[in-house]
Amino acid sequence: MNNKWLEWATELQSIAQAGLTFGENQYDRDRYQRIRDLSVEIMHEYTDMDHNKIRDLFASETGYQTPKVDVRAAVFSYDKILLVNEKIDGKWSLPGGWADVNSSVSESAVRECLEEAGAVVKPKRVVAIHLGNRHNNHNFPFTIYKIFVECELIKYQFAKNTETLGSDFFSIEKLPELSTERNTLEQIRMCFEAKNSKAFETIFD
């Protein structure tokens, strides 16, 4: 993604967040707060996100701003990959979501597969670590590391849940409409390539 305004807003927010935490006097903190307010106004002006939501997601943390982690599981059954139908947009994605605190990457993959797809899996290897802003279709006002994990399927039975409408296995030739904010066609192809190659090396930006 090449929206310079988003890069500027994100950097301004990062500077302001650190300054508000480590500023030595109120004079400095007042000015860092103004920088943070401007970063929120920029996001509000150039996206359709609610102003309060931007402030909650983008400008509510303290200390140094660090990337958020999105874990996506690539689960295969023969030559088909497991996808879930997202309630939020009606499109399809690899099971996954934000990593929880006190939870490892493999634990996050296992949890997301069970909760969203009804799949019990065993993580095998990390396929890739992508900088989301470079690969995916979104305007999130923070940096995202997207970690793709190849998983072995143990058993599978979809169960009704709050996040997905259903789950199914698809061949690379017959993929449904993808939720490109979560995963792109290129990322799905990358997972197939990893699955079909024992010598596949982890890709990272």
DSSP-derived letter for residue 64 is S
pLDDT confidence of residue 163: 96
pLDDT confidence of residue 1: 44
User: Helices 51-58 and 26-46 sit at what angle, rounded to 10 degrees?
Assistant: 130
Pick one of 3.30.565.40, 3.40.50.2300, 3.90.79.10, 3.20.20.70 as the CATH number of 68-204: 3.90.79.10
pLDDT confidence of residue 57: 64
Would you kindly state where each structural domain of the chain is located, as residue ranges? 4-58, 68-204
Continuous H helices in the chain: 4-22, 26-46, 51-58, 105-112, 132-135, 185-195
pLDDT confidence of residue 141: 65
Write the single-letter amino acid at 131: L
> Tens-digit pLDDT profile for the chain (205 aa)?
457 888 888 888 888 888 888 888 998 889 989 998 998 888 888 877 777 777 776 667 777 678 889 999 999 999 999 999 999 999 999 999 999 888 999 999 999 999 999 999 999 999 999 999 889 987 666 789 999 999 999 999 999 999 999 999 999 999 999 999 999 999 999 999 999 998 999 999 9
DSSP-derived 3-state class of residue 148: strand
pLDDT confidence of residue 58: 67
